[in-house]
Structure 1
């Protein structure tokens, strides 16, 4: 007898995460999904009404380490296991771009929030779920960025946190042979982050860097937030 897979998807309220969620729900045999987001958006509320295999929870990944550890255990791991008895996959998609500022203007407290959100929270989730993933031969998909290996003015906090995420992916692949682990670089996707880059952060970036993102949007070359991780 086949077992319905259980997927934990973070950053599920909008952008790439919402596109992944909609794709998974549209599959002929959709998995059970725990959709995790800071804010339960109207789109998530609507989907949860029409799909009995979808559970939504709110988690703030920028919380302090002690609060975050307990929240991940109680709001993610315990919820998924108590409802469906297993966790087969983590899709770690949540993240933030801010602060966008040169290093000479950096607020280290803001960098700390970025690293808690983009990196340390993922360490906590993987650690908390590793027993379940190991038991079923599960998978971890980390949504990384080209900024992990490329440099833009003012992107120090974001790029460094994504580089750390890539290293976490490699470390997990080495240490946990029973868990399949990959990091995905989705490209320049037309999300709220790109809107902020075009409309807010141009004053920090170099003109040619800012122009790149303006031209991608103007030319229609920017990638739409359709499902990038699970193509049909």
Structure 2
């Protein structure tokens, strides 16, 4: 049973953060917990990593739940409701923001070689599960005029050989942000390009997927690492965490890059 929701705007905000076990998600959890007045966080991950588990032991305002967003759609709604939404409400009585950061790069293959069932799993993880979490949380977000931050990709607007499933699902995510801005004007929804971040995804692109991408494309990702262009996840985490807490209404519906000028204030640590 859900407890009554408080509309007290001075209450400690509650953030649901997915893909929290590593990379950008874990870095954002750490940033938010280190704030002078940290929010309450429900950290969602397919597997609760040792680092995330350790944070939960040492921070009473952090709760973790394991959810596999590749779960078939016939089962996913119940899983989202019980494991995510009801956990946040029963623990803290409100939901102020969603940071939807989970995703998969695979399958990396040309369309001519594609198993469309693999594309279906990618879209389930990268888009349809986002819709399911947002749908389930809308009622609570309306009450507090909350925020939704969607972690997108530069691949949503640029094509790479073999990236069809990933890029197309991220492009659809950007349109989903537009839809939310139109349909839910009291909720601020923004889709964010995190840039070239030093995560396991970049490692896979350098070490595994070069055989599918063209030589010039693969060389580009090798250069990102060797030249130092690649960005630590902790840098991006500051912008994402601050957007969850205070994204302005004029950003709603936009697809923005974490390092563009109009997000400068969100990149400053508080």
Query: One fold, TM greater than 0.5?
Result: yes
Partner SS, residue 217 of structure 2: helix
What's the offset of the Cα at 1:118? 0.3
What's the offset of the Cα at 1:66? 1.5
Out of 188, 196, 199, the residue aligned to residue 191 of structure 1 is 199
Out of 159, 170, 190, the residue aligned to residue 162 of structure 1 is 170
What's the offset of the Cα at 1:221? 1.1
Please report the RMSD computed on the Cα atoms of aligned residues, expressed in angstroms. Answer: 0.8
Quote the Cα distance in structure 2 between the aligned partners of 1:118 and 1:133: 21
Partner SS, residue 17 of structure 2: strand
Partner SS, residue 36 of structure 1: strand
1:79 paired with 2:87, answer yes
1:34 paired with 2:54, answer no
Superposed structure 1 runs of 4+ greater than 2 Å apart: none
Quote the Cα distance in structure 2 between the aligned partners of 1:16 and 1:8: 14
What's the offset of the Cα at 1:9? 0.1
What's the offset of the Cα at 1:219? 1.1
- The residue number in structure 2 matching 1:135 is 143
- The residue number in structure 1 matching 2:249 is none
**Map of 1:201-216 to 2, 5 A cutoff?**
201-216=209-224
- The residue number in structure 2 matching 1:67 is 75
Partner SS, residue 189 of structure 2: strand
What's the offset of the Cα at 1:97? 0.0
Quote the Cα distance in structure 2 between the aligned partners of 1:198 and 1:192: 10
What's the offset of the Cα at 1:220? 1.2
What's the offset of the Cα at 1:5? 0.2
TM-score, normalised to structure 2's length? 0.85
Partner SS, residue 179 of structure 2: helix
Quote the Cα distance in structure 2 between the aligned partners of 1:101 and 1:117: 17
- The residue number in structure 1 matching 2:154 is 146
Quote the Cα distance in structure 2 between the aligned partners of 1:224 and 1:153: 25
Out of 26, 29, 46, the residue aligned to residue 54 of structure 2 is 46
TM-score, normalised to structure 1's length? 0.99
Superposed CA offset, 1:19-65 (max 9, x none):
11000000000000000000000001100010000000000000100
Quote the Cα distance in structure 2 between the aligned partners of 1:63 and 1:83: 24
Q: How many residues align?
A: 232
